[in-house]
Amino acid sequence: MSAFRRHRAAWLLALPLLVFLTVLFVIPVGQIMLLGLFPKGEGPTFALFEEVLADPFYHRVAIRTLRIALLTTLLSLVLAYPVALHLRNVGSRWQSAIVLIMVSPLLTSVVVRTLAWVVLLSNRGILNQAFGAIGLPPMRMIYVEGAVVVGLTHVFFGYMVVSLMTSIRRIDENLYAAAANLGASRLRQHLEITLPLSLPGVLAGSVLVFILAASAYATPSLLGGLRISMLAVEVFNQAITYFNWPEAAVISTGLFVLIAAVVWIATRVAEGGRRKVIFQ
């Protein structure tokens, strides 16, 4: 019996979603990639890809995009992990309230949230006014990579919390009781039980935040300006500002490949070795 016949009901239930993704995602992405191969509507050529890949400017933008996305993911993970651990030990009422606070930024427009950071970090913003009031010189806190990382972390922090909380809450409480009976300290319990068994949530949250951060447009544009450009910003500039759709298609294809490669490597590393059994 073929795999399709064994899982016919599942395939039929998934058919509307597959059609939706094919029509609104796979086909448009494929057309964008083909636009880079057929820039003038004639035969296929890799000349535009070679031109973009050889441009040092795009090398710097790609490295900056990767660096900002990784830093945002790491900062989100470091800040969200203690919150997820705390949520495991609080009552359901407080848990719901804390989760609502953590994910509340997701209920607001990303532009509004980023503009709030502009008000805080600008040269005449609230923080610099506070520094001036106590006699300190103004600091440059906007249009730098740090500002973009902070803004992206604030925007995507909720995704990391939810992913970690879901994984940590599934850990059986009896494992901690057994470890305590065997004389394991709280630190040993965390290192031997919580940390390994939370890896699926760590991986899911990290992949999600990395993808969203690497492809973000609004936050890098407002907090990075012209100095801190990322690949998504360059795609917008080439397509909308300069009407250079073939080059925008090449850059977007490069961004797609870069994200896919990093996610593939991270998944293989996380699910390999002794940790493989955790993901089964």
Domains and CATH numbers, the chain: 1-45 (no CATH), 48-279 (1.10.3720.10)
Instruction: Give percent above pLDDT 90 in the chain.
Output: 32
> pLDDT tens across 99-140, in order?
777 777 777 888 888 888 988 888 888 888 888 888 888 888
Q: What value, to the nearest 5°, has the Cα angle with vertex 64 and ends 245 and 71?
A: 125
Confidence of residue 225 (pLDDT cuts 50, 70, 90): confident
pLDDT the model gives residue 127 = 86
Higher pLDDT, 221 or 87: 221
Q: State percent of the chain over pLDDT 70.
A: 94
Q: How far is CA 18 from CA 25, 33, 119, in A?
A: 10, 20, 43
More confident residue, 100 or 170: 170
* Pairwise pLDDT comparison (177 vs 8), residue with the higher score: 177
What CA dihedral angle connects 13, 14, 16 and 18, to 10 degrees?
A: -160
Nearest alpha-carbon partner for 222 in 91, 103, 118, 70:
118
- 220 and 229 in contact (C-beta within 8 Å)? yes
Burial 9-43 (b: 16+ CB within 10 A, else e): eeeeeeeeeeeeeeeeeeeeeeebeebbbebeeee
For residue 243, is it left (φ>0), alpha (ψ between -120 and 50) or beta?
A: left
pLDDT at 231: 94
Rounded Cα gap, residues 53 and 49, in angstroms: 6
C-alpha closest to that of 87 among 202, 198, 164: 164
Structure tokens at 112: 């509004």
Q: In the structure, what pLDDT confidence band is assigned to residue 234 with cuts at 50, 70 and 90?
A: very high
Q: Is 119 helix (H, G, I), strand (E, B) or coil?
A: helix
Q: Are 213 and 145 in contact (CB under 8 A)?
A: no
- On the question of pLDDT at 277 being above 60, the answer is no
pLDDT tops 60 at residue 280: no
pLDDT level of residue 14 (50, 70, 90 thresholds): confident
Distance CA 89, CA 149 (A): 30
Six-digit token string for 12 = 């039929």
Using the CB atoms, write b or e for 142-170: b if 16+ within 10 Å: bbbbebbbbbbbbbbbbbbbbbbbebbee
Confidence of residue 166 (pLDDT cuts 50, 70, 90): confident
Q: Is the pLDDT assigned to residue 1 strictly greater than 60?
A: no
The 10s digit of each residue's pLDDT in 56-84 is: 999 999 999 999 999 999 999 999 999 88
Question: In this predicted structure, which of 74-78, 181-185, 254-258 has the lowest mean pLDDT?
Answer: 181-185
- What is the pLDDT of the chain when averaged over all its residues? 86
Q: Is 104 helix (H, G, I), strand (E, B) or coil?
A: helix
Task: Give the range with max mean pLDDT: 42-46, 195-199, 275-279.
Answer: 195-199
Average pLDDT over residues 178-186: 87
The reply to whether the predicted model has a pTM over 0.75 is yes
DSSP 127-138: HHHHHHHTTPPP
**DSSP 3-state of 170:** coil
Q: Which of 25-29, 216-220, 271-275 has the lowest mean pLDDT?
A: 271-275
| Helical (H) or strand (E) element with 156 | helix 145-169
Q: How high is the pLDDT of residue 13?
A: 85
DSSP string, 55-100: -HHHHHHHHHHHHHHHHHHHHHHHHHHHHHHHHHTS-HHHHHHHHH
Please say whether the beta carbons of 114 and 222 come within 8 A. Answer: yes
pLDDT of residue 59: 94
Q: Identify whether the C-beta of residue 209 lies closer than 8 Å to the C-beta of residue 215.
A: no
Quick one: pLDDT band at residue 6, thresholds 50, 70, 90? Answer: low
